[in-house]
Amino acid sequence: MIGASITWSPAMRKLWRLPNLLTVVFALLATSAARAEDYGHSEALFEEDAAETQIEPLPLEEFLDSEEQSLVPEMIPLESAPHAGRPTMRGPGGPGMGGGPGGGPGYSVVWYPSRSVSGQQGDLAVLRQNLSGGLPLWMNEGRALMFNFNVRNSLYSGEVTLPDTGRPFPAELWDVSFGVNYLHQFDNDWTGLLMVSAGTSGDEPFQSGDEINIMLGGMLLIPARNQRDSWTLGVMYSPAGTLNFPIPMVAYSWNPSESFQMNLGLPFRLHWEPGSDWAIDLSYVPLTNVNARLTYLIHDRMQLYGAYENLSEAYFLSDRVNSEDRFFVFEQRLVMGMKCDIGRHLSAELNSGYAFEREFGEGENQGAGLHDKVRLSPGVFLGLNLRFEF
């Protein structure tokens, strides 16, 4: 029952600053849409080049549709994918936002009513938001340069302390990043992707250089001999990630049919359409990000889905004692939702569900022993997503 009360702290009231941010971001998204139309000729050249080199862009897109996908906006026209002309049933997956930031530029919000904290008298209410988008800077004959951004914000209301150090629980957490991605299709049919982004991740964004986070990544797509499948080799590194060391990525993209695709390796991903109206999606990104989703296509513009998500995030707190410590957020949840296409490039999604295994703690990395652990009772949540899809 969604009837718990919320005490609106000063941090919660900062929500009212966000409409100005929303105005700026959606203006940028609108500009992105206009620029996408202007780049129609360039995209045609891009597709023609892909056709000449017999490269299927879909495996790369599927590989990037994971925990890191919010940092890598779609750069390859979807019209060239094998599913063109068919209603897509790929779940609007992604971390942390009741459907997540993954799946295209847009805005997401999810509200968790107040729940009790284990071992303490206080409780916590949570309001989480995410803004993401991308802008094509340049595209020409198999090469593309994209600008992208992502802003994630969590507001916490309640009288809770971190038990080991006695510090107050952070009133807000931010993750802000801006970056560029460069895609290049080589003459030998290989495709390379370079990613660079910079931002801040913590309770007081941009307070000092200690909270600055740099993300570096590179991927190489190598077509298999059958010209249907491909190998993907890559590496990702983010000091503020849940794993703060370079993460190698090796996967074989197996695409036996239009209704079945699987990435065998890391990250793992499976998409299977057992019938014309059903789809199953599974994904895993180290260390604990797991997603499973069942989608039912009601008609061409409406989907129903149910999902399981295992999520994790990491931040730098400004008052941490050890400069290497990060504040981790863990959550598992069951989600049910409905997605509707409300325009040519716009979709809306309403979802709700049950969050459990909600824990917070501080330490140098996710695999190490954490201190200042806070455990939040299970509870329901309600989410809304608005997505631009091109």
**By the 8 A CB rule, do 12 and 127 touch?**
yes
- Mean residue pLDDT of the chain comes to 77
Q: What SS3 state is found at 50?
A: helix
* Segments forming the whole domain that contains residue 123: 10-388
Region at 266 (left for phi over 0; alpha for psi -120 to 50; beta for the rest): beta
Select the highest-mean-pLDDT range: 21-30, 61-70, 277-286: 277-286
Instruction: Tell me if 5 is assigned to some domain.
Output: no
Measured CA to CA, the distance from residue 17 to residue 196 in angstroms comes to 28
Q: Does any domain span residue 260?
A: yes
Backbone angles phi, psi at 45, to 5 degrees: -60, -40
State the total domains in the chain. Answer: 1
Q: Determine, yes or no, domain membership for 317.
A: yes
Asked whether residue 161 is assigned to any structural domain, the reply reads yes
- Facing residues of 179 across strands? 148, 197
Summarised one tens digit per residue, pLDDT across range 261-277 is: 999 998 899 999 999 89
Q: Summarize the confidence of residues 247-272 as an average pLDDT.
A: 92
Residues with Cβ within 8 Å of 305's Cβ and at least 6 positions away in sequence, in order, are 91, 293, 294, 295, 296, 335, 336, 337, 338, 339
**Token match 């499948």: residue?**
229
Q: Are 4 and 165 in contact (CB under 8 A)?
A: no
In a domain, 18, yes or no: yes
Q: Which helix (H) or strand (E) holds 226?
A: none
Bond preceding residue 78 cis, omega within 30 of 0 = no
Instruction: Write the DSSP string, 143-177.
Output: EEEEEEEEEEEEEEES--B-TTT-PBPPSEEEEEE
332 and 190 in contact (C-beta within 8 Å)?
Answer: no
Q: What is the pLDDT of residue 102?
A: 43
Residue among 180, 157, 179, 154 nearest 168 (CA) = 157
pLDDT on residue 205: 82
C-alpha count within 13 angstroms, C-beta hemisphere, residue 103: 26
Residue 1 predicted with pLDDT over 50: no
Closest CA to 232 of 262, 196, 272, 258: 262
C-alpha radius of gyration, the chain, whole number? 21
Q: Give residue 366's pLDDT band: very low, low, confident or very high (50, 70, 90).
A: confident
Tokens at residue 364, please? 């140098």
What is the spatial distance between Cα 227 and Cα 54, in angstroms, rounded to a whole number? 7
Max CA-CA distance within the chain?
66
For tokens 């295994």, what's the residue? 357
Cα separation of 17 and 130, whole Å? 14
In a domain, 139, yes or no: yes
- pTM score of the predicted model: 0.72
Percentages helix, strand, coil for the chain (3-state, rounded to 5) are: 15, 50, 35
pLDDT in tens, 74-98: 333 322 233 333 344 544 333 333 3
Distances (CA, A) of 232 to 102, 184, 251, 265, 291: 20, 14, 5, 9, 21
Contact assessment for residue 287 and residue 313, using Cβ atoms and an 8 Å cutoff: no
Residues 159-184 have a mean pLDDT of 94
Q: How confident is the model at residue 300 (pLDDT cuts 50, 70, 90)?
A: confident
Burial status of residue 95 (CB atoms within 10 A of its CB: 0-12, 13-18, 19 or more): buried
What's the pLDDT at 287?
Answer: 67
pLDDT value of position 220: 94
> Tens digit of pLDDT for each residue in 201-221?
899 888 777 778 888 999 999
3 within some domain? no
> For residue 94, which of 115, 64, 119 has the smallest C-alpha distance?
64
Examine residue 2 and state whether it is found in any structural domain, yes or no. Answer: no
pLDDT tens figures, 273-291: 999 899 999 998 876 678 9
Q: Nearest-CA neighbor of 346 among 390, 383, 384, 300?
A: 390
For residue 74, the model assigns a pLDDT of: 34
- Does the pLDDT at position 16 exceed 80? no
For residue 104, what pLDDT band results from cuts at 50, 70 and 90? low
The pLDDT tens digits of the residues spanning 302-356 come to 999 999 999 888 899 988 888 888 899 999 999 999 999 988 889 999 999 999 9
Q: Which sign, positive or negative, has the C-alpha torsion 225, 84, 57, 261?
A: negative
Give the CA distances from residue 194 to residues 34, 82, 89, 123, 170, in Å, rounded to whole numbers and listed in that order: 25, 25, 28, 43, 34
Q: Please answer whether residues 281 and 291 qualify as being in contact, where contact means their C-beta atoms are separated by less than 8 angstroms.
A: yes
pLDDT band at 99 (very low <50, low <70, confident <90, very high): very low
